[in-house]
Amino acid sequence: MNEIILLKCGELVLKGLNRAKFEEWLMKTLRYRLRPFGHFSIYSLQSTIYIEPEDGFDTDSAMEALPFVFGIVSVCRSYVCEKNLEEIKSLVTDAFHSELSAARTFKVQAKRSDKKFRYDSMDIMREVGGHVLSVFPHLTVDVHSPELTVHVEVRDRKAYVHIEPVEGAGGLPCGINGKATVLISGGIDSPVAAYLMARRGLELHAVHFFSYPYTSEQAKEKVFELLRLVSRFAGRIYLQVVPFTEIQESIREHCPEDLFTLVMRRFMMRISSRLARACRSDALITGESLGQVASQTLLALAATDNVCDMPVFRPVIGFDKKDIVAIARSIGTFDTSILPYEDCCTVFTPKHPKTKPMIYELEEAEKALDIENLIERAIAGVQDVAISPSGAEIIDTEDKQ
């Protein structure tokens, strides 16, 4: 029996005259993601992407990887035959013999995309269902909540049969909407923010602020692991680790305590903007949720945005912690996020942080700091890391050149 994988594309079909561009981008992504599993051909017809395995292709591994690719709403491992009703009937009972033997109830769901095929969807369901009952008389038809649903699709080229499709990641193909830089901490929120914006078609670049010895190497490794988990969906992520100790110590020495966190956040936005521009990112992404902590009040967010010269996306801004935790659990980052390794945001935290800061207050406090030199030294000490689903790879200075 010949196998093929059918990918349903969800909102891509609503793109009108631009749909071909989105489908081509998705297929380019799929060629890259599936390359380790062997040779295959790929094409798009009737709002569906077809992956035809060639000899030696690891279909099992491909089926594990495909649900993590943004732009796909369902993945169907299918068997293919000619558009002949008798062949379709035989294929269903042969291909799914073990599943039909184990089930007690079933139904057949048919879709006839090729309107020239002489049997309509109701005919196909009736004929195939009757054949299944003749081969497996223990079964009962249940059209509302069957244990097993057999899908039959008659399309332009061939007929395809499969059982329950695997749910895909949805969204838009990564990179179709450009690139953005995510400020990634070791917490729960920022990996979720990264995932959500990648799901809307953004390629991710990441920046992490590291304050050794106040934060440990384990804290950095934790960030690597969080990005590795996100990269299963978003693909390869280029991370820049910024040494932040000197800046934080300078803030502690020269600035009012109630402004520590806000001045620190303004430095983060300045540095992230510069690194983003250098790698051709056009926006920043943060995991801030309105009112969650003192630095995330409306005026505090305005004060940090004041030093930023590009858009700032905050996809969880209206979520409460329960909402964010639910997504973190669903994408597999939650257990890593709660590991007890502190990040730089917990260093020198004021007892009574200012929640309604005025920008002029922050600008006045920052006059005591050598902002440009501090930023330049931090950027000069950046560590570059390539993150993929297989792990983190430190990029040496010679490799970058």
> Does the pLDDT at position 401 exceed 70?
no
Rounded to 5 degrees, what are φ and ψ at 6?
-105, 130
- For residues 341 and 218, what is the distance between their CA atoms, to the nearest angstrom? 7
List domains and CATH numbers for the chain.
Answer: 2-170 (3.30.2130.30), 179-400 (3.40.50.620)
Residue with tokens 């801004």: 317
pLDDT tens digits, one per residue of 289-345: 999 988 899 999 999 999 999 999 999 999 999 999 999 999 999 999 999 887 777
In this prediction, residue 245 carries a pLDDT of: 95
Residue 389 class from Cβ within 10 Å (0-12 exposed, 13-18 middle, 19+ buried)? middle
Q: What is the pTM of this model?
A: 0.92
In this prediction, residue 294 carries a pLDDT of: 84
> 248 with 215: CB under 8 angstroms?
no
> Does the pLDDT at position 400 exceed 60?
no
